[in-house]
A and B are shown apart, each in its own frame.
Chain A
Amino acid sequence: SQTIHQWPATLVQPVGSPLSLECTVEGTSNPNLYWYRQAAGRGLQLLFYSVGIGQISSEVPQNLSASRPQDRQFILSSKKLLLSDSGFYLCAWSFETYEQYFGPGTRLTVT
């Protein structure tokens, strides 16, 4: 069966510091991968999605970037965090079917 991992689970970072969040999927090959952000009490905003290694599509202009160095690894990064980057970051995967499955999330607080 497939599983999706995210780490760290929680992170507190000062404004201006760099960021690296990692997502890995097990049990499948060549999945579609997604990064979402969820502000407190809000819906899910799609940030990036990837259909293959090195293929990244950005949905909204922002202070973040994404990379997919390996088939089942998706990384969310920032060079300098802003207060507005705080939120709950979710990675998700899908394959040939339409179903999209989410990881446990990373709670990021920028202070």
Chain B
Amino acid sequence: GENVEQHPSTLSVQEGDSAVIKCTYSDSASNYFPWYKQELGKGPQLIIDIRSNVGEKKDQRIAVTLNKTAKHFSLHITETQPEDSAVYFCAARDGGYQKVTFGTGTKLQVIP
């Protein structure tokens, strides 16, 4: 089955700096890669996703890049704000299944 590894587990940045979270996946058949933001005590919220036919996708201050050859993808947050503080999860989905495999999460702290 799919295995998703996520790094780092914790990340502290100064407000206004950029944050980068990296994930690798094992199954070359995976073709969909979402990112979720989870605030304390709440359910994860889908913030951006990318499909395997695209190398990069951007939505305002958030961008995701995908390297299919190396089987890794990354989340980039620019101009970080205190409200970006949360746990972020990457995930990968095999096109033949209804299941999504999640990484172990990155706790991002943005210091004002």
Which A residues contact B (CB, under 8 angstroms)? 32, 42-44, 46, 49, 51, 59, 90, 92, 94, 98-105, 107
Given A44-B89, A98-B32, A98-B34, A103–B43 Cβ distance below 8 Å? yes
B1 to A: closest C-beta gap in Å: 10
Q: A43-B89, A98-B93 are in contact. Are A51 and B98 (CB under 8 A)?
A: yes
Interface SS majority for chain A: strand
Report 19 cross-chain contacts, Cβ distance below 8 Å, ordered by A residue. A32-B98, A42-B105, A43-B104, A44-B44, A44-B102, A49-B98, A98-B93, A99-B34, A99-B49, A100-B46, A102-B36, A102-B43, A102-B44, A102-B45, A103-B43, A105-B41, A105-B42, A105-B43, A107-B41
Chain A residues with CB below 8 A from B103, complex form: 43
In chain A, what residue has the closest Cβ to B98? A32
Chain A nearest CB, measured from B52 CB (Å): 11
